[in-house]
Structure 1
């Protein structure tokens, strides 16, 4: 059998195996044991914290033939089939690649059928926040009132993107990041089971790099074992994670403590040349500052220091930092981290950071707030005096304005806003010439998917618009505000994106025409009037007056639908 990654081999098979989510697993186990499970669940939280694992365990538990206190037995045929991913009644769907309306409609149609083997048909929809608005709407009614033998389990890392109407129809569970100690215990269990020797400091580095995700921790562990030929050493863990060695960070922080930018930069270049990650470097600086602050506190907090960082060499330079300077360093490092995430020039930002935190002027800068605080009473006196002068000037200006003759007031120049200049009436009339209610409904159906295909900026602009008329090869969009209409007309990238996306979804070439909503009724009325006048000139003798009136009504019904036309006699 091919090699399987550690996180797959050690995936939890019962609620008791799930690490770091005791409250959630206990609640689900009790619900299964008492037959009080809900028809829909929402599991949200950071990546690698057990959402999908709990969903699979819950699907097994509700269908298990011999459940034990809410836990699946993993011995019956149903459990074995589920563990081997061959149970047809447990359907896993990746919403990232199946996020359209059609996929959800397919689910809605199939939930009506009873399970083939198990008691419940369970749908596990992973990354559910990726569904389009139209797909959410299609899921809404089914999620609220599914058949009695159907269960939905939704999993997501971004619950804020899920509509409130969906969340309110589910039992919501928030998975938290797994503590470093829980991750350490799990990795030790795995390594002991595999009879592999390991360095505890190496496990600490991996647990820290995982940032609360068990899957990430096991993936890094797998990589470190492969790098070291099934041996886990401190050096292997540092190389794989990009973490700094104690010697590197001590040398760097010593140069910073001694206000020596040249030595600090030399150490920086050595660290970056060894392939260490700039992000890991900044994280290590913050961790060092945090531990020195705890050390300087001379209280019970010092017991919470990380002994893997606070070595004897680091303790020797801890006294050279006061808390004020440590706070300054943390602020500068945090600002640099934000810049590193949006730039490829990591070396430049790290050089600037190093110079900032190691220059002697830093201490003077950090003392500036205290100096400002001591001069506050004197500043208050100056502020009061300046306020009085400002008030006097205001009164003088008011008197001048009052005494000025009214005749000197010049009328404001009138702005000539020619909004009609941007309207492409020819294109609008072309759409109206062959517009149908069916084409308009088709455009409205695909519009949520079109919005999801646009960029965030484009989506914000198009939120104030809606389709108002459509033909087989054209679509008229009306904007609520003239300002947004003007901007959209001038944004060629937006027009190209709309044309391409709509044409792709409609499976034919479609022209997009824009119009301010306040102008739309007049343009519509003008078009109908022009068509009536044209018919008069072409056939004035052959058609009686009543027929012309009927033709007007037929044209209006054709354009806007029977429900939207109200005929009144004069």
Structure 2
């Protein structure tokens, strides 16, 4: 016989087998036992919580020849036929693919006929919210005046999409998410029955990943067992679910505790490079902070810590966090989560978050400067928040380097924003930038942008992460000006002469000619370009440029092109 998935093999066959829905199963069992069942039920709730299973059990129970306290016997002809999906009087319909008026009218025409084998003809309509408005109207009349010995069981994950006129004609049951403890007990029971060895922490990770769905938990368990060759280990569960390993989260949180942004960023890059989800990573940070808060409470609350998360290594650094800082970290991570769900720049948001929570005084400074400002967390203002943080992140770069070298900089000697800006200017190689601009052409810039993805693929993972926020903004035959969105990364690459040389060498290989890479912060680029235009216009062409500017004085794009490249390159034509 072909292999069957665990969630199919272990599908509940009686109400007592259903996990985590005791109130619902007890109500249905009593209704069957007292023969007070309704003609229509609505089962709603998250996926994998037992809606369809309860519908099938109810269909068996009302037709069972030998029911026992409201439970189907699973031994009579009716029960056996239902278990083998060959009972003609139990009709399952997928509303997602049968959502038209004609399908419901067909049901309405057939319900008038008596059951062929069982006592009740039961229609189970799954994902009923997918029905069209016309189909709901066709179903409404049948629910209002149902024929005798007919039962409808509607199942949905989105009850808000069902018309109130339908809901009011059914008995409604809301299935809740299954608790992690109930999921754990069920998985332990299944593994023990199959005589499979397992790691308790691995089960905890799977239960957490299932998010309250029993079917999801069994599917993940099935996948982990296949990956581990019929054994369940912690590593297998982490790989299958994408959960962070203990070493990864300990390394990251230790760097945060020690206020070492450079080390924290290194840990972040390793975590993201291993394929871990940024959103799953933020969830883990919040779980760790929650457990640290409980641990620091010095009360019975510490007994409620999640043992699958809180390793001895994390407990050892607990005294480095006070609750105020943990609350701050949770707030920052929560705000970042909202941005992650609506952005494709997840790496950048994670980098900003890492710097912020490893240097919490930045937030204190910002709040002092803007005491009445409400923190921005929605997606519409996400870019504003990034711009606001740019100066603070740049301000921290010197500290990152100092701290990563094992030294400490006195607070009184920390550079101000103006001093830091002057430091950026000192790093700029304006001579090289002007040299590129003096021979810059559009074709060279297009060629530079064409080879840019290939250049990125030649870099290491860490180098690629730094260059993600950079792009060519000007190019000539022998040079490319690359602008960085954030001064922090500009400084780091500019100071790394080996990396800068590697960029130039790789670019030369791709361009098949000598080509120098010159760096500039994007925030400074407009000013540098304007300075070049103001100071380096070819005087011999000044009158010609002036005349062309007059002919096109209403087009600022042409004016800028003439200023930057000269009239020998730009040919102005009237439409």
Question: Does the TM-score normalized on the shorter chain lie above 0.5?
Answer: yes
Aligned partner of 1:251 in structure 2 is: 251
Within-5 A mapping of 1:208-227: 208-227=208-227
Mean Cα displacement is larger for which, 218-227 or 104-113?
104-113
Once residues 62 and 112 of structure 2 are traced to their aligned partners in structure 1, the CA distance between those partners, rounded to angstroms, is 19
Once residues 363 and 257 of structure 1 are traced to their aligned partners in structure 2, the CA distance between those partners, rounded to angstroms, is 16
Within-5 A mapping of 1:369-388: none
Q: 1:295 to 1:361 in 2, by over 3 A?
A: same
Aligned partner of 2:517 in structure 1 is: none
SS at match of 1:38: coil
Aligned partner of 1:512 in structure 2 is: none
Aligned partner of 1:167 in structure 2 is: 167
Deviation of 1:328 after TM superposition, in Å, equals: 2.1
Aligned partner of 2:344 in structure 1 is: 344
Aligned partner of 2:125 in structure 1 is: 125
Aligned partner of 2:80 in structure 1 is: 80
Once residues 366 and 295 of structure 2 are traced to their aligned partners in structure 1, the CA distance between those partners, rounded to angstroms, is 20
Give per-residue Cα distances to partners, 1:283-338, cap 9 Å, x unaligned.
Answer: 11010011111112222211111122222211121122222222222122222222
Aligned partner of 1:322 in structure 2 is: 322
Within-5 A mapping of 1:141-180: 141-180=141-180
- In the alignment, structure 1 segments of 5+ residues that lack a partner are 374-570
Aligned partner of 1:89 in structure 2 is: 89
Deviation of 1:372 after TM superposition, in Å, equals: 7.7
Cα contact 1:225–1:231 (8 A) shared by 2: yes
Deviation of 1:257 after TM superposition, in Å, equals: 1.6
Within-5 A mapping of 1:427-466: none
Within-5 A mapping of 1:225-236: 225-236=225-236
Deviation of 1:98 after TM superposition, in Å, equals: 0.9
Cα contact 2:95–2:125 (8 A) shared by 1: yes
Within-5 A mapping of 1:387-406: none
- RMSD over aligned Cα, in angstroms? 1.8
Matched, 1:293 2:312: no
Aligned partner of 2:33 in structure 1 is: 33
Cα contact 1:325–1:362 (8 A) shared by 2: no
Aligned partner of 1:11 in structure 2 is: 11
Aligned partner of 2:353 in structure 1 is: 353
Aligned partner of 1:134 in structure 2 is: 134
Cα contact 2:120–2:149 (8 A) shared by 1: yes
Once residues 314 and 367 of structure 2 are traced to their aligned partners in structure 1, the CA distance between those partners, rounded to angstroms, is 25
Deviation of 1:371 after TM superposition, in Å, equals: 8.0
Cα contact 2:356–2:363 (8 A) shared by 1: no
Number of aligned residue pairs: give it.
373
Cα contact 2:78–2:118 (8 A) shared by 1: yes
Mean Cα displacement is larger for which, 56-65 or 91-100?
91-100
Aligned partner of 2:239 in structure 1 is: 239
Cα contact 1:228–1:236 (8 A) shared by 2: yes
Give per-residue Cα distances to partners, 1:488-521, cap 9 Å, x unaligned.
Answer: xxxxxxxxxxxxxxxxxxxxxxxxxxxxxxxxxx
Once residues 208 and 234 of structure 1 are traced to their aligned partners in structure 2, the CA distance between those partners, rounded to angstroms, is 13
Question: Rg: which structure is higher?
Answer: 1
Once residues 342 and 103 of structure 1 are traced to their aligned partners in structure 2, the CA distance between those partners, rounded to angstroms, is 38
Once residues 170 and 365 of structure 1 are traced to their aligned partners in structure 2, the CA distance between those partners, rounded to angstroms, is 58
Give per-residue Cα distances to partners, 1:226-254, cap 9 Å, x unaligned.
Answer: 00000100000000001011111011011
Once residues 31 and 170 of structure 1 are traced to their aligned partners in structure 2, the CA distance between those partners, rounded to angstroms, is 14
Aligned partner of 2:63 in structure 1 is: 63
Deviation of 1:367 after TM superposition, in Å, equals: 7.5
Once residues 127 and 49 of structure 1 are traced to their aligned partners in structure 2, the CA distance between those partners, rounded to angstroms, is 14
Aligned partner of 2:424 in structure 1 is: none
Cα contact 1:11–1:53 (8 A) shared by 2: yes
Deviation of 1:365 after TM superposition, in Å, equals: 5.3
- In the alignment, structure 2 segments of 5+ residues that lack a partner are 374-575
TM-score, structure 1 normalization: 0.64
Once residues 241 and 356 of structure 1 are traced to their aligned partners in structure 2, the CA distance between those partners, rounded to angstroms, is 28
Q: 1:146 to 1:351 in 2, by over 3 A?
A: same
Cα contact 2:129–2:159 (8 A) shared by 1: yes
Aligned partner of 1:191 in structure 2 is: 191
TM-score, structure 2 normalization: 0.63
Once residues 368 and 146 of structure 1 are traced to their aligned partners in structure 2, the CA distance between those partners, rounded to angstroms, is 68
Deviation of 1:144 after TM superposition, in Å, equals: 1.8
